[in-house]
């Protein structure tokens, strides 16, 4: 078989086409024929240069592409507002928790403000109120706890409010002590808002997850 046949087969190999003869036979000829081996090296070099030719220059469209993009992607502003609102609620709950703890601590330690109640009963009240402050602070630190804390805190305040109003009307409690309970009401409202926002966020995430194709 002539060298021309082998060179045509080599050209076909470089172009990804059928060789027309066994690949091993072509390789054996190239190893035994210096002229065809040199021709193969030249052909490979020319083919590589042709395929790696420099791309024609194109204008820089970076500024045009960036200018065509919206100033803010959809949803980014809404997400930023949601994060800001959640942060504000957490800071508010933190303030409520600190204030609640500040009111409860003297009563727990010394019985100050016990009025006519026995000291031990006032100590129990102080411990209870300090525990509520701790619950507020825990939710402020980890808003995911809001949903779990809400049933307990909400039921307590729902019972406390009418009882306090009745005692206030009957003169069984001082006005300043009754007003202090507004801290608890405010804290529970904030906890409820955090729980609602957390549930809403999970629902939106679930919907977005269902829309993602498998």
pLDDT tens-digit map of 133-190: 899 999 999 999 999 999 989 898 898 888 888 888 888 777 777 777 888 899 999 9
Of all residues in the chain, the percent with pLDDT exceeding 90 is 17
Give the relative orientation of helices 23-32 and 34-51 as an angle to the nearest 10 degrees: 110
pLDDT value for 198: 87
- Can you list the pairs that 86-90 forms with residues at least 24 positions away whose Cβ atoms lie under 8 Å? 86/143, 86/194, 86/197, 89/143, 89/190, 89/193, 89/194, 89/197, 90/140, 90/141, 90/143, 90/194
**Alpha carbon distance 188, 93 (integer Å):** 9
Please tell me the predicted confidence (pLDDT) of residue 193. Answer: 92
Domain ranges of the chain: 3-51, 76-211
pLDDT in the model for residue 91: 93
Residue 188 has a pLDDT of: 92
Nearest to 11 by CA among 3, 19, 1: 19
Residue 61 phi, psi dihedral angles, 5° rounding: -100, 15
Percent of the chain beyond pLDDT 70?
A: 80
Q: Rg for the chain (alpha carbons), in Å?
A: 40
Claim: this prediction has a pTM higher than 0.75: no
């Amino acid at each position: 078989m002539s060298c021309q046949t082998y060179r045509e087969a080599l050209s076909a190999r470089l172009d990804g086409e059928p060789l027309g003869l066994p690949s091993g036979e072509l390789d054996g000829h190239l190893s035994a024929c210096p002229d065809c081996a040199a021709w193969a090296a030249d052909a490979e070099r020319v083919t590589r240069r042709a395929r790696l030719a420099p791309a024609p220059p194109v204008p820089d469209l970076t500024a045009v592409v960036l200018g065509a993009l919206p100033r803010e992607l959809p949803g980014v502003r809404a997400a930023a507002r949601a994060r800001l609102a959640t942060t504000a609620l957490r800071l508010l709950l933190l303030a409520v928790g600190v204030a609640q703890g500040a009111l409860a601590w003297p009563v727990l330690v010394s019985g100050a403000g016990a009025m006519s109640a026995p000291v031990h009963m006032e100590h129990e009240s102080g411990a209870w109120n300090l525990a509520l402050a701790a619950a507020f602070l825990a939710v402020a630190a980890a808003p995911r706890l809001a949903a779990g804390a809400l049933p307990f805190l909400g039921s307590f305040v729902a019972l406390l409010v009418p009882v306090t109003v009745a005692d206030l009307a009957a003169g069984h409690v001082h006005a300043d002590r009754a007003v202090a309970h507004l801290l608890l009401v405010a804290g529970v409202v904030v906890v409820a808002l955090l729980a609602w926002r957390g549930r809403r966020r999970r629902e939106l995430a679930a919907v977005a997850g269902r829309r993602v194709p498998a």
